[in-house]
């Protein structure tokens, strides 16, 4: 129940005590004022009912002082910027404006915290100790906390020199129930010049990344005032969205390309560095320190904000830290002295592997992580680790190149997906930590976040013989139910689990002596998960990210997850947790989930910059470095749970001024960047074509390197590659050639991003194409030609090309020669798998580089399969001139073909020939004058074994195709070496055309000799209905045939 509300604003007053700083040279030892005073004012607050007769104070902008068993009161660590290059000599903090709140209060005690690995016996023992702390605290009337303000440490964030001060606006006399409020805290900082700090300050002075400055503005309370100590930023010198560094091995550097390119597409300046190169070029006692020194050296020049470590810890090491080492902090304090080294024996196994070592980059190791020089990094009592972190760090903890590439691609595709149903669904398996701590409460608190109202959720809570949640759920927490739901068609973009754990599982029904501790998820389950729908996972359990083995965290990242936040060692939990202000791992879980699901932060920012930092400033993790170090992120730190970004590159075609098209073939190599018109004529069947092509990036950000391929009729003919491409830039490749192109109509197109290496706002405009026409091959009379396979008819790529690609030819039909009044063009493929067709175009069809061999064709001979095709022009009725034929590859055949333009030879009644058909010959055409009546034709093969056919065409024909023969005027029945015959009724006298043709590809290399017998039929009495051509002799047209 809300009891009282007081409101004041959080304001910062900077009062200069000694002098006003106007300008400070960072390398100078003089010119600094020696003392500053800051006044911090508290925020709005309300006192609420905490249950069981207790109250709790909620203050805007503050967390809680969480000393287990002692009153839970608002508190926060503030960061105050101080001039660069100085060290803090002393800090005086004095509360101001003390008032006593009317009435008495029963402030709730801070919850008990235990390792999740603790046994029931250990929990019971700790409970006794906790109750004793409560008894002592609430039976005393001494003010708590004893200090309204306290100097924590001198820290740093990038270029900013910081003094950290804890401000606890309330103090409480528990025995009497009296509550006091300091609405302001006056902070007086005395300092002096430090050569060591000044050296570091000079290195960082020019550091400026807008995203980092936004972070600084949020937590440095005098940010605006601090700007006068630094030079004006050169905002154009680095990426406005910050540098992204990938640290990996030589063996893995090529496997990280998806993330390298994706982050470039998102606007990051991406750098890939190998540990081999770092090891050879940077100083340090071991590889870990060398990597950290490399990152420190590049922090400002590259504007680093994100670091991705790729490799197992044996290749890219974590730093082993010793927060509870022999000189360090005792996290199980019993006697009131948390730094008593004699209380609990320290063991070497109490080391904590962490990647936070690479996130906190403010000072060299000998001034920070190993400041006492004992090589036991991160000892809470003696080492000077700086908070907050400079960069967000994630890791892909695998060293197999294929696995790494798959993980990288999966992460990219997750972000690029616009499936917001999947990305707005959360799976929530929650077990009890102990009988007093049901993590269903955590899940319900998450679902109560306002922005979660639009999410789909599936809860699995305990209901068994050991624990029974009071909250409703969609299913009972069991291994079967978790796996069944996770592998169902209900895909989950976020999975949040809480329970006991190990390196290979998370469990329920644990925490008591008789509890069986059953797994609800196992590392071996990962192989069942659908990696097309991977999840961001927060694992509130012990050791799920244990890096020395193939932990469940590592296995999930391989299959099932795109991000995994887990503990590398034993995790801690707050008993009876029911509020995000109760702290411990549940609050880290809550705040990480809050910031990721509101889609305003990447997983790295949500974890390092927000949740982990909030635990430090708001929930007492400044005294729990174990927890600060053990929680780690396996993921790309810049991965987001949101819809596809709208600000990306976009590669697309462009037609620059002076160019005809984005792709321009030319007959000369004299194009320039500003002049590239299409040639009026493109010479076919010769090495005379030069390709020119261009494209642009009209998106929001630089495009990474990509390969562009140029195609002619679907065949890759040229390529170009660039290492990167700024927005607005036009790439031009000119005068590439000379290249051979056969005649006819062809399609030129390009695929700009051939390997799909660039993620774009529009993936459908990476291709452009156009059809052009090259001058045809001029067929000589009666002289076959062998050609390679014609272009695939519809290999258009993305070109809007309605006409088939073809191999183009021309042939001349002349009336001057008295014996050549018919012309036929025929083709024959070389094998049975190739089906080629033939089209005929009229005189004047071909007009230059964009005209001809398309629409308006006269004939299309399209016998199926590997049979011959031909078209015919009858010069008795058709105009003389140049006609055009195009060979079309109907079925993507690959065989050669022969083409022949044959002109007619006259034949007469009786026996004609013999005629030789060479292996290269396709067809022969004959002209014969026929009178009205019935005629017989016989083809007699006198040598060879060709399979020949013959067909007759009407005298009124202007042009026709193979299948347009006269009724009855077709014979192809007897096969190889056989004779063929037909008889036909001639309705009108005239000059007719007879074609003898090879049948199919089996005749491709065959030769033979044949005769043609032709005669008009009589009306004989015997033999009955003879075949008239069989007995034909050399008789006149009016003489009856002699029937032998």
Pairing between β-strand 243-248 and β-strand 269-274 as defined by DSSP bridges: parallel
Q: What is the mean pLDDT of residues 379-403?
A: 96
Average pLDDT of the chain to the nearest whole number: 91
Q: Is 868 helix (H, G, I), strand (E, B) or coil?
A: coil
- C-beta separation of 785 from 896 below 8 A: no
Confidence check: pLDDT of 337 > 70: no
Dihedral sign for Cα 1032, 1033, 1035, 1039, please: negative
Q: What is the mean pLDDT of residues 831-851?
A: 97
SS3 percent helix, strand, coil of the chain, rounded to 5, is: 20, 35, 45
Confidence check: pLDDT of 387 > 70: yes
- Structure confidence at residue 240 as a pLDDT band (50, 70, 90): low
964: DSSP letter? -
**Structure confidence at residue 347 (pLDDT):** 58
Beta-carbon count within 10 A of 124 CB? 11
CATH 2.30.30 for domain 243-367, yes or no, is no
Pairing between β-strand 703-712 and β-strand 715-725 as defined by DSSP bridges: antiparallel
> Position of tokens 């306002």?
450
Q: What are the residue boundaries of the structural domains of the chain, listed by start? A: 4-229, 243-367, 417-635, 899-1031
Q: What is the mean pLDDT of residues 369-388?
A: 93
d(CA 723, CA 1036): 82
- C-beta separation of 979 from 947 below 8 A: no
Q: What is the mean pLDDT of residues 113-129?
A: 94
Nearest one of 390, 369, 310 to 604, comparing CA atoms: 390
153: DSSP letter? E
- C-beta separation of 51 from 59 below 8 A: no
Domain 417-635, CATH among 1.10.287.70, 3.40.50.10540, 3.40.50.1460, 2.60.40.10: 3.40.50.1460
Confidence check: pLDDT of 160 > 50: yes
**Structure confidence at residue 816 (pLDDT):** 59
> Position of tokens 């009336």?
815
Conformation bin of residue 492: beta by default, left when phi > 0, alpha when psi is -120 to 50:
beta
Overall pTM > 0.95: no
Residue 288 tokens read as 């870990």
Length of the chain as a residue count: 1044
R_g (Cα) of the chain, nearest Å? 43
For 569-588, give one letter per residue: b (16+ CB within 10 A) or e: bbbbbbbbbbbbbbbbbbbb
- Structure confidence at residue 335 as a pLDDT band (50, 70, 90): very low
Q: What is the mean pLDDT of residues 187-213?
A: 89
- C-beta separation of 591 from 610 below 8 A: yes
**Structure confidence at residue 4 (pLDDT):** 35
CB contact set of 754 (below 8 Å; sequence gap of 6+): 706, 707, 708, 709, 719
Give the CATH number of domain 4-229: 2.60.40.3800
CB contact set of 236 (below 8 Å; sequence gap of 6+): none
Nearest one of 77, 71, 35 to 56, comparing CA atoms: 71
- Of the given ranges (331-335, 762-766, 889-893), which has the lowest mean pLDDT? 331-335
Q: What is the mean pLDDT of residues 530-559?
A: 98
Residue 874 tokens read as 């009858």
Half-sphere exposure of 883 (CA within 13 A, CB side): 28
Q: 243-367 with 417-635: one CATH topology?
A: yes
Each residue's pLDDT tens digit, 792-835:
999 999 998 789 999 999 999 986 556 789 999 999 999 999 99
**Hey, which residues does 82 pair with through a beta bridge?**
161
Confidence check: pLDDT of 984 > 90: yes
**Cis amide linkage into residue 155, ω under 30° from 0:** no
Alpha helices in 417-526, H assignment, sequence order: 440-447, 479-486
Conformation bin of residue 258: beta by default, left when phi > 0, alpha when psi is -120 to 50:
alpha
- C-beta separation of 884 from 845 below 8 A: yes
- C-beta separation of 704 from 757 below 8 A: yes
- Of the given ranges (194-198, 372-376, 485-489, 1007-1011), which has the lowest mean pLDDT? 194-198
Nearest one of 717, 336, 312, 385 to 546, comparing CA atoms: 312
- Structure confidence at residue 782 as a pLDDT band (50, 70, 90): very high
d(CA 64, CA 137): 17
> Position of tokens 């082993």?
320
d(CA 783, CA 809): 13
**Cis amide linkage into residue 145, ω under 30° from 0:** yes
- Structure confidence at residue 1018 as a pLDDT band (50, 70, 90): low
> Which segments within 923-972 are labelled E, that is strand?
923-930, 933-944, 948-953, 959-961, 970-971
Nearest one of 85, 302, 73, 337 to 180, comparing CA atoms: 73
CATH 1.10.10.1590 for domain 899-1031, yes or no, is no
CB contact set of 833 (below 8 Å; sequence gap of 6+): 866, 891, 893, 894, 895
Dihedral sign for Cα 701, 707, 712, 717, please: positive
Q: Is 416 helix (H, G, I), strand (E, B) or coil?
A: helix
Q: 304 to each of 132, 239, 242, 391, 819, how far by Cα in Å?
A: 49, 9, 6, 7, 85
**Structure confidence at residue 164 (pLDDT):** 97
350: DSSP letter? G
Q: What is the mean pLDDT of residues 661-668?
A: 98
Confidence check: pLDDT of 950 > 50: yes
Dihedral sign for Cα 749, 750, 756, 760, please: negative
d(CA 906, CA 928): 6
Q: Is 816 helix (H, G, I), strand (E, B) or coil?
A: coil
d(CA 708, CA 697): 13
d(CA 1018, CA 443): 104
Confidence check: pLDDT of 98 > 80: yes
For 598-620, give one letter per residue: b (16+ CB within 10 A) or e: eeebbbbbbbbbbbbbbbbbbbb
- C-beta separation of 669 from 739 below 8 A: no
């Amino acid at each position: 129940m809300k009891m009282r509300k007081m409101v004041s604003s959080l304001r910062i007053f900077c009062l200069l005590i000694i002098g006003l700083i106007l300008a400070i040279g960072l390398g100078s030892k003089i010119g600094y004022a020696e003392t500053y005073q800051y006044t911090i004012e508290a925020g709005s607050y309300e006192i609420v009912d905490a249950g069981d007769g207790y109250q709790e104070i909620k203050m805007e902008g503050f967390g809680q002082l969480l000393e287990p068993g002692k009153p839970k009161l608002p508190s926060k660590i503030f960061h105050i910027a101080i001039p660069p290059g100085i060290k803090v000599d002393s800090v005086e903090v004095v509360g101001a404006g003390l008032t006593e709140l009317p009435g008495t209060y029963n402030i709730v005690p801070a919850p008990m915290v235990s390792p999740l690995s603790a046994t029931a016996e250990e929990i019971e023992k700790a409970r006794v100790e906790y109750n004793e702390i409560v008894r002592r605290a609430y039976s005393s009337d001494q003010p708590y906390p004893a200090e309204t303000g306290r100097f924590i440490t001198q820290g740093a964030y990038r270029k900013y020199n910081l003094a950290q001060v804890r401000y606890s606006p309330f103090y409480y006399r528990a025995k009497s129930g009296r509550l006091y409020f300091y609405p302001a805290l006056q902070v007086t900082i005395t300092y002096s010049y430090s050569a060591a700090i000044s050296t570091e300050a000079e290195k960082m002075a020019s550091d400026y990344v807008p995203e980092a400055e936004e972070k600084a503005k949020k937590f440095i309370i005098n940010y605006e005032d601090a700007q006068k100590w630094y030079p004006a930023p050169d905002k154009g010198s680095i990426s406005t969205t910050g540098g992204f560094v990938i640290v990996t091995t030589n063996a893995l550097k090529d496997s990280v390309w998806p993330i390298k390119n994706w982050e470039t597409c998102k606007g990051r300046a991406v750098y890939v560095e190998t540990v081999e190169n770092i090891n050879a070029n940077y100083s340090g006692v071991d590889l870990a320190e060398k990597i950290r020194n490399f990152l420190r050296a590049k922090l400002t020049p590259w504007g680093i904000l994100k670091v991705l470590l790729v490799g197992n810890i044996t290749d890219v090491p974590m730093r082993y830290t010793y927060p509870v080492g022999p000189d360090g902090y005792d996290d199980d304090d019993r006697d009131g002295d948390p730094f008593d080294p004699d209380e609990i024996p320290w063991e070497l196994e109490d080391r904590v592997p962490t990647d936070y070592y690479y996130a906190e980059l403010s000072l060299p190791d000998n001034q920070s992580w190993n400041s006492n020089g004992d090589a036991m990094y991160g000892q809470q009592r003696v080492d000077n680790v700086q908070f907050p972190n400079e960069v967000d760090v994630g890791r892909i903890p695998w060293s197999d190149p294929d696995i790494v590439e798959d993980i990288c691609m999966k992460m990219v595709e997750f972000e690029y997906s616009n499936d917001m149903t999947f990305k707005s669904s959360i799976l929530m398996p929650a077990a009890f930590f102990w009988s007093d701590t049901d993590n269903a409460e955590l899940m319900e608190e998450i679902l109560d976040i306002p922005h979660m109202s639009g999410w789909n959720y599936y809860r699995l809570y305990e209901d068994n013989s050991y624990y029974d949640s009071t909250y409703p759920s969609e299913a009972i927490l069991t291994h079967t139910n978790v796996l069944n739901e996770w592998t169902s068609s209900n895909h989950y973009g976020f999975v949040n689990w809480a329970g006991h754990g190990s390196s290979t599982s998370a469990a329920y029904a644990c925490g008591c002596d008789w509890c069986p501790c059953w797994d609800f998820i196992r590392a071996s389950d990962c192989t069942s998960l659908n990696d097309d729908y991977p999840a961001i996972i927060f694992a509130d359990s012990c050791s799920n990210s244990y890096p020395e083995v193939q932990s469940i965290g590592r296995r999930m990242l391989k299959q099932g997850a795109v991000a995994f936040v887990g503990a590398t060692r034993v995790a801690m939990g707050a008993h009876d947790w029911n509020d995000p202000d109760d702290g411990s791992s549940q609050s880290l879980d809550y705040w990480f989930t809050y910031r990721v699901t509101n889609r305003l932060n990447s997983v790295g920012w949500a974890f390092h910059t927000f949740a982990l930092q909030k635990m430090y400033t708001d929930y007492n993790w400044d005294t729990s470095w174990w927890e600060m170090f053990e929680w780690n992120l396996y993921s790309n730190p810049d991965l987001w749970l949101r819809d596809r970004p709208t600000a990306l590159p976009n590669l697309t075609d462009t037609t620059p001024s002076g160019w005809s098209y984005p792709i321009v073939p030319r007959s000369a190599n004299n194009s320039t960047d500003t002049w590239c018109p299409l040639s009026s004529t493109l010479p076919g069947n010769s090495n005379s074509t030069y390709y020119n092509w261009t494209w642009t990036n009209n998106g929001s950000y630089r495009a990474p390197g990509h390969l562009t391929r140029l195609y002619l009729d679907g065949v890759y003919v040229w390529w170009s590659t660039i290492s990167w491409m700024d927005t607005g830039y036009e790439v031009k490749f000119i005068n590439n050639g000379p290249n051979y192109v056969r005649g006819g109509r062809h399609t030129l197109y390009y695929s700009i991003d051939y390997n799909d290496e660039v993620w774009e706002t529009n993936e459908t405009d990476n291709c452009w194409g156009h059809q052009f026409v090259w001058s045809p091959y001029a067929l000589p009379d009666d002289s076959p030609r062998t050609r390679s396979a014609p272009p695939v008819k519809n290999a258009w790529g993305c070109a809007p090309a309605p006409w088939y690609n073809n191999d183009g030819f021309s042939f001349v039909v002349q009336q001057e020669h008295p014996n050549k009044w018919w012309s036929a063009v025929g083709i024959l493929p070389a094998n049975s798998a190739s089906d080629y067709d033939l089209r005929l175009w009229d005189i004047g069809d071909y007009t230059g580089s964009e005209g001809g061999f398309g629409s308006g064709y006269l004939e299309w001979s399209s016998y199926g399969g590997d049979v011959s095709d031909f078209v015919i022009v009858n010069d008795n009725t058709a105009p003389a001139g140049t006609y055009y034929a195009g060979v079309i590859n109907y079925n993507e055949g690959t065989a050669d073909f022969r083409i022949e333009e044959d002109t007619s030879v006259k034949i007469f009644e009786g026996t004609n020939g013999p005629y030789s058909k060479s292996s290269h010959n396709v067809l022969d055409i004959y002209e014969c004058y026929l009178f009205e009546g019935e005629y017989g034709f016989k083809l007699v093969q006198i040598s060879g074994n060709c399979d020949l056919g013959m067909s007759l065409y009407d005298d009124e024909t202007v042009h026709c195709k193979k299948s347009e023969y006269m009724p009855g005027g077709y014979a192809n029945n007897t096969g190889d070496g056989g004779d063929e015959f037909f008889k036909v009724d001639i309705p009108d006298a005239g000059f007719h055309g007879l074609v003898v043709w090879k049948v199919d590809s089996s005749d491709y290399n065959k030769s033979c000799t044949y005769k043609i017998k032709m005669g008009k039929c009589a009306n004989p009495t015997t033999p009955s209905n003879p075949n008239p051509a069989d007995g034909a002799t050399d008789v006149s047209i009016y003489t009856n045939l002699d029937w032998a």
